Structure 1
Amino acid sequence: MAESEPGRPFRHYWGDTPAEEDDYYSQHGVRGTRSFLRLPRGISLFTRSWLPLEDGPPPRAIVLMIHGYGNDVSWTFQMTPIFLASKGFACFAFDLEGHGRSDGLRAFVPDLDAVVRDCLAFLGSIRERHPEYHGLPCFLYGESMGGAICLLTHFADRLGFRGAVLVAPMCKISDKVRPRWPIPEILSMVAKVLPTLPIVPTADIMLKSIKVEEKVAVAEMNPMRYRGKPRLGTVMELLRVTEQLSRKLSDVSIPFIVLHGSADVVTDPMVSRMLYEEARSEDKTIKIYEGMMHSLLFGETDENIEIVRKDILSWLEYRCTSTSTSTTTSTAGNLESA
């Protein structure tokens, strides 16, 4: 990550312009694209890809990546697909409706079922644009709310994906950040007439997610980051979907690895344990990292990020080269058979 120059603000790690961003990609052995995808439902999504260099070996797999609430694919989220692309994975992501450069009112996501359809439409467009990737295994990757969307996408297309990487997935709103009674009941009534109203009383999730103080400043610089209070319609939809997911954990059949920090107060690591225990997937892995917080792949120390990256990479690599299944559980530094 680049250091700030005297007398000027901290720059984001790839520079200030798209040209510098492309230079950053090249330095890390990947190439990137940017485009818009027009959907049948009438909105445009901003999309990105991070791909292995053309003069290297062909990609090992496609990874469809989904960011979390209030985030976007053009800032710190990029760190993970850049890393994976440098290791041979073709990574694709888009700004969710109401996020980043995609259409929609900022941070307003009234229908996550529509977002699932967006994911499948985006995957279809990838396959149309990249016939050379035909036959490659396809994986889902989601962070926080994106993890919940991954599971919903799995339910919508049970045969379309080889596996899922779930990073601090929001399978249920943590009681530590969920509004107390009677606030949810009151908000539910107001949301029926004023769904876009940004009044839900919650603390800034970003400040609860990042451990390393210097990285808070980098996250704050993101011009696309939503800084307002959550909108009523979005919160009610997240409550609906996570309640649904928490009742359907036993229906999960996709191979997956779920990764969570034990000190996460945004999404609950105990719910990830429930997912691991209840899912009927024959191939499932859980990693609980002692003392780590919600932002496992940006907000932690570089050493911790490297641990999480290696776990994700080894899990993906094994499932690209083997048809075997396994069931494991672990905490950082302690791997046991389940």
Structure 2
Amino acid sequence: MKTVVGKKERWEGKVKGRLMPPGGGIAEEVKPPAPVLKVLTLMSNVLPKAKLFPQKDLAELAFRDLRKRKMAVYNVICYKDQTRLKTAVELLKVTSEIEKQVEKVSSPLLILHGAADKVTDPLVSQFLYEKASTKDKTLKLYDDGYHCILEGEPDERIFTVLNDIVSWLDYRVSS
């Protein structure tokens, strides 16, 4: 929800699914070890377009519903190639920078996260909830939910998440 006031844009609320770059706070299980990360960071200055950054198939970690996991490979908007070295390093840097400034989040905030997410640690959402300066904030952790709570879960769970979003928005629009 965004309003333009004069020349300034003002956010009236956020639904956190991807406020932190891609999800922020990448889980330790999917991050490269610190020494490897240091080497990759140095190499990114010399070979920025190199696709040397280790790639893991995250479908198993992101999609709980097996049928939807199999269909994920057909998603035409999903980038399937290895991440370029400089892109990966910059994503890690910006994630760290956002984590340092999370207290500046002052708009109403709905944070949704799968409690069994192995790609983005659910503690990151807890951290955002605790540190954001807004008084109007809601954190919903979905038991057994994986990373893709709006596409990789059983339909019943997806409808629950969508209903939670609509209810949260409806309450704020009507008040």
2:112 pairs with 1:259: yes
Q: Specify the alignment match of 2:55 in structure 1.
A: 202
Deviations 1:229-279 (A, max 9, x none): 221111111111110111112121111100001110111110110110111
In structure 1, what is the Cα distance between the partners aligned to 2:135 and 2:106?
7
1:304 to 147, 157, 172: 157
2:88 to 225, 235, 248: 235
Give the letter for the 2:16 counterpart: L
Give the letter for the 2:52 counterpart: I
Q: Could you say which structure has the higher helix fraction?
A: 2
Q: TM-score w.r.t. structure 2 length?
A: 0.89
Q: Is the 8 A contact 1:177 1:202 kept in 2?
A: no
Q: Specify the alignment match of 1:165 in structure 2.
A: 15
Deviations 1:124-158 (A, max 9, x none): xxxxxxxxxxxxx538xxxxxxxxxxxxxxxxx98
Q: Specify the alignment match of 1:215 in structure 2.
A: 68
Structure 1 consecutive aligned stretches of length 4 or more whose deviation exceeds 6 Å:
none
Q: Is the 8 A contact 1:172 1:245 kept in 2?
A: no
Q: Specify the alignment match of 1:187 in structure 2.
A: 40
Q: Specify the alignment match of 1:225 in structure 2.
A: 78
Q: Is the 8 A contact 2:2 2:9 kept in 1?
A: no
C-alpha root-mean-square deviation of aligned residues, in Å? 1.9
Quote the sequence identity (%).
37
Q: Which has the larger radius of gyration?
A: 1
1:25-174 to 2 correspondence within 5 Å?
Answer: 138=2, 160-167=10-17, 169=20, 170-174=23-27
In structure 2, what is the Cα distance between the partners aligned to 1:279 and 1:317?
22
Q: Is the 8 A contact 1:249 1:278 kept in 2?
A: yes
Unaligned runs of 5+ in 1: 1-136, 140-156, 323-338
Q: Could you say which structure has the higher strand fraction?
A: 1
